[in-house]
Amino acid sequence: MTGTTPEEAVQHVLSTDPTFAVELTEVRGVTYKAFKNIPPTVPDLLAAGWARHGDGALEYLVYENERLTYAQFTENVHRMAHALRDNLGLGRGDRVAIAMRNYPEFLVTMLAISSIGATVVFLNAWWTTEELHYALSDSEAKVVFADGPRAQRLEPLKQTLGLTIVGVRDAEGHADRDFSDLLSGASRADAAEVSIDTDDDFAVMYSSGTTGHPKGVVQTHRGAVNAVFSWLMQSVVAPLVTPPEPGAPEPPRPSALVVTPLFHVTATHPLFLLSLPAGAKITLMHKWDAEKAVRLILEHDITRFLGVPTQSAELMMAARQMGETLPLLDYLGSGGAKRPGAQVAQLAETFPNAGIATGWGMTETNALGIGMIGDDYIKRPESAGKLHPPVQELKILDDAGNEVAVGELGEITVKSPANMRCYLNKPEATAETIQDGWLRSGDLGVIDEEGYVTILDRKKNIVIRGGENIACLDVEGALHKVPQVLEACAFSIPDERLGETVGAAVQLREGTMLSHAQMTQALEGHLATFKMPTHLWCQYTPLMRGATDKIDRRGVRSICLKKLETST
């Protein structure tokens, strides 16, 4: 049986399947293409997936030795939603924060918060007390669900910010309220009856950019569910493009392994939220370990793996050492950072049944964006792929906002209902990023005649370490608190395993010295561990300047990298 082109397949689905019907709709004064018949809110995804999860009977959530069916998971969400309203007095418009590692409670709490019309505030589990203070002050969240290590970091902020901490796992018995008590003491186990508009705020996710502090990205329910159904549509389009062989067995139930933090959009949206309407099972890892990931993929019939490039590389090495090809794995995706082109063919050889995939998306787009899989990717390993249909539009713009010609470098700019509403409390940054519904990504790239986009550079001064965005100004701000430092410049250093790490050049005060170990000790409590510079260069003269007398970041980086090369 011969397949159709991707474009023909998309048009066929749009014209024959009412689930994916598209209409023009106005949102905040801008007209967008949007899905017409999908669930209006994130909590509505729970009910939308009920039948696909065996009317609730199928195993849904796995963590270590713990198991929940879809019905049990749904009941936990409903019970916690009632507890939030009845016991904690929370409701529509309140902001409620989550600060924990990847526990099942994270997913339950996330949906329970959104079920009562409140807004989920995702806090980076690696943040220091100082960094947590900024996000909680910025979001004005007063209730935080936290595990043990996070609860300890939050303790100094309780009185100042008026926080109520709900203890999870190892924080139970040491917090204001305990998660298990709230859950068991909930008055009801049915869905909370709340009026939520599709354009209400669903979440605030913090994303590092060019500023010293992270920006709170405000996502709406409409944005999240339009992203989810854009990905769900791909699973309907794929067999039309590449039909199964005659007599081929039915594909296994989709099953995803979550290996990236749930406070990032890569894990929450195209894995967790998509799993609800897709009927997919979810397995959480306590901590990344490549050999354990191989065993979990085999044990739980995992079909979908989405991690940062470092993780797919380490998975490949572990599978080779263990003599495994993971035959049920049909999707091996990369997000958060660009995968090295040379790795693509190696992954395809190691996992012959898996479609090796890549993607580009942003917290600001609910992770929706560009991608490709399989032969398309193998032929173009340096490309990011094509725009995911059908609700997105894309332009490549110059600095003046004019569309550039095919093949010319410009800023990747996207328009869709999945775009964020705003940056929290930052109207100027919002206006710079979103113009007439178009979101300027800060990433520079080119598009070819076939619509494939290649990302070549970025305007933002950020380092992408293993998929984690680190603002250079954030690192520099912390370095300026070190007494010996007069001025500082942070930049990316290529790293074989993580893609990039942070390097820093500093001008020291006369008569002082600063070793790497002293710097690290001085930054503890001010900067999360993953942001710490791995290399430090010190000098007593001012750092290199450009024509406008600003520090020449690229020039400083170039000099430091040359010194690094000659020293190794």
Whole-Å CA distances, 239 to 2, 353, 431:
11, 15, 41
Q: For 71-95, what is each residue's pLDDT tens digit? A: 999 999 999 999 999 999 999 999 9
CA dihedral 71, 295, 306, 345 (to 10 degrees): -150
Whole-number pLDDT of residue 42: 98
Listed residues 219, 248, 271: the one ending a domain: 219
Q: Show Cβ contacts of residue 248 under 8 Å, excluding neighbours closer than 6 positions.
A: none
Degrees to nearest 5, angle at CA 452 with 451 and 453 = 115
Q: For 368-383, what is each residue's pLDDT tens digit? A: 999 999 999 999 998 9
Q: Show Cβ contacts of residue 549 under 8 Å, excluding neighbours closer than 6 positions.
A: none
Quote the mean pLDDT of the chain. 93
Let me know if residue 348 belongs to a domain: no
Short-list 129, 68, 466, 500, CA closest to 264: 466
540 has pLDDT over 80? yes
Residue 35 pairs in a beta bridge with 22
CA distance 35 to 26: 12
Q: Count the domains in the chain.
A: 2
548 has pLDDT over 60? no
The model's pTM: 0.87
Whole-number pLDDT of residue 211: 52
Let me know if residue 77 belongs to a domain: yes
Let me know if residue 184 belongs to a domain: yes
Which letter does DSSP use for residue 403 in this model?
Answer: B
Let me know if residue 98 belongs to a domain: yes
431 has pLDDT over 60? yes
- Domain around 151: 44-56+69-219
Under a CB-based contact definition with an 8 Å cutoff, are residues 92 and 118 in contact? yes
Whole-number pLDDT of residue 408: 87
Let me know if residue 105 belongs to a domain: yes
339 has pLDDT over 90? no
Q: For 513-526, what is each residue's pLDDT tens digit? A: 999 999 999 999 88
Let me know if residue 181 belongs to a domain: yes
Q: For 217-234, what is each residue's pLDDT tens digit? A: 999 999 999 999 999 999
105: domain CATH number? 3.40.50.980
Whole-number pLDDT of residue 45: 98
Model confidence at 1, in pLDDT bands (50, 70, 90)?
Answer: low
Whole-number pLDDT of residue 519: 95
Short-list 287, 209, 285, 107, CA closest to 463: 209
Cis before 327 (ω within 30): no
Q: For 440-469, what is each residue's pLDDT tens digit? A: 999 888 999 999 999 876 677 788 898 887
Whole-number pLDDT of residue 486: 86
Whole-number pLDDT of residue 244: 87
Structure tokens at 368: 């929706």
Let me know if residue 550 belongs to a domain: yes
Listed residues 188, 219, 250: the one ending a domain: 219
The residue type at 517 = A
CA distance 226 to 116: 20
Whole-number pLDDT of residue 343: 87
Structure tokens at 350: 């190691």
The helix (run of H) or strand (run of E) holding residue 444 is strand 438-447
208 has pLDDT over 70? no
Q: For 344-362, what is each residue's pLDDT tens digit? A: 999 999 999 999 999 999 9
212 has pLDDT over 70? no
Whole-number pLDDT of residue 209: 53
Whole-number pLDDT of residue 467: 84
CA distance 212 to 474: 4
536: domain CATH number? 3.30.300.30
Residue 78: count of CB within 10 angstroms of its CB? 22
The residue type at 448 = D
Q: For 250-304, what is each residue's pLDDT tens digit? A: 899 999 999 999 999 999 999 999 999 999 999 999 999 999 999 999 999 999 9
Residue 27 pairs in a beta bridge with 30
pLDDT average, residue stretch 120-149: 97
Residue 360 pairs in a beta bridge with 370
Structure tokens at 432: 């710079």
Listed residues 162, 191, 219: the one ending a domain: 219
CA distance 155 to 146: 11
